[in-house]
Structure 1
């Protein structure tokens, strides 16, 4: 299909940045992040487009996607990589931290998928890959809020995937295990397993899903699990 256009949400560090790096040599890539200086640094490094977007704001998500469509005409794929860590026992988390985690991981995911699918349906094709977490399927102590918010995203994707009724628009999810990323630094070393995958390794799988063509015989709703560096 030649060069295509991809939006990578949460692309200023970690897995999102690794996905953008793999795509940018052959495709138009738009990176979204909520810190202006970080977005500027990534766009300068990769030579791609970018926009400041706090996913917890529907208006910012809406405007960012509209800007991409206005510039490139179509969106061929969206990687929803943004996430906020919320570790610790429930009683130890501040109300503000809980609120921001829900706004980012729940509302933000909802807004991104809503806008992405609206544009993909209008053009009749495209792929969405939601980045979840192995915490959804493998509970760990001390992360009730984080796991709950990521479980929401997984449930949302499953329902949306069932609603597509076509491979022309594919909605998929990938659940990495702990990786050495900036989010992981906030998590703490105790959550990083002895065997783990690097962001660059997981990014190859995200890109494989994003590059699926409309006529590929691939089922929307596919869940890819990549935990601890193993399949």
Structure 2
């Protein structure tokens, strides 16, 4: 196990940081990447406190830059001679709606949350085939259930889900196992990093302002009872080591129940009632 190497994206905070620690605890040589390595202090401190510093190699990787992705993957293989697993974790939230978001806003969300996953997976797959490895992508319950004021984010995560679900059986013919991990609300900096000014956003929402205020109140309640990043990360680490990993797995009972509404909802009415209730 000590020779196995995993590359993880988006490890400066939250689930990504905990995935890096969890992989190192499990004995993996862990390459923890982030766009800005100046934000690595928290991971370094946590790794040092846990006695894992020797197993965690922090490197720069910007998932929106194909050159950065290719260079990082090749450097990792050059250093360790192998790449056994990749965890696509880097992502960014976004709150907005069709009439307020520009097309550039939507493209930016897609670049990070969808095309970033493709860039990393494409660069890694030849090396993963050589090791009959794992490709794990942190998606979201928002990749199954469309949510108001999250159109762009959910569209990106829906795209990730469709792409990886389609890729999974093909990759399996070459020995690579593909898994989607779907967290619900997680108590991390993910929401804070969206940078919402609730008052300004409500004013900008125009006719949708009452619905937005109700949505933000409901979201605040959901995140007040959120799962911890370490709990969500444990599901990712388990997917890396499970001899027969699932194609899709949720990180909590709440996430399973939420996704289950959609998967049993052939005409969409149950989801519409559920998410419509958030706006009342």
TM-score by length of 2: 0.73
Residues 161 and 230 of structure 1: is their aligned pair in 2 closer, same or farther, counting only changes over 3 Å? closer
Q: Secondary structure at the match of 1:179?
A: coil
Q: Is the 8 A contact 2:235 2:251 kept in 1?
A: no
Q: Which protein is bigger by CA-based radius of gyration?
A: 2
Residue 124 of structure 1: how far off its partner (Å): 3.6
**Counterparts of 1:90 and 1:13, CA distance in 2:** 30
What does 1:52-71 correspond to in 2, within 5 Å?
A: 52-71=60-79
Q: Does 1:209 align with 2:217?
A: no
Alignment root-mean-square deviation, CA: 2.2
Residue 106 of structure 1: how far off its partner (Å): 1.8
Give every structure 1 segment of 4 or more consecutive aligned residues whose post-TM-superposition deviation is greater than 6 Å.
none
**Gapped runs of 5+ residues in structure 2?**
48-52, 195-215, 257-280
Residue 90 of structure 1: how far off its partner (Å): 2.2
The residue number in structure 2 matching 1:140 is 147
What does 1:1-231 correspond to in 2, within 5 Å?
A: 1-25=1-25, 26-39=27-40, 41-43=42-44, 45-46=46-47, 47=53, 48-121=56-129, 123-166=130-173, 168-186=175-193, 190-192=218-220, 193=222, 195-212=225-242, 216=243, 218=244, 222-226=247-251, 229=254, 231=256
Q: Which whole-Å deviations, capped at 9, do the CAs of 1:161-208 have from their partners, x for residues lacking one?
A: 021244831011011101111112245674251643211111111001
More helix by share: 2
Residue 137 of structure 1: how far off its partner (Å): 1.8
More strand by share: 1
**Counterparts of 1:43 and 1:163, CA distance in 2:** 37
**Gapped runs of 5+ residues in structure 1?**
none
Q: Is the 8 A contact 1:31 1:39 kept in 2?
A: no
TM-score by length of 1: 0.88
44-53 or 22-31, which moves further after superposition? 44-53
Q: Is the 8 A contact 1:154 1:173 kept in 2?
A: yes
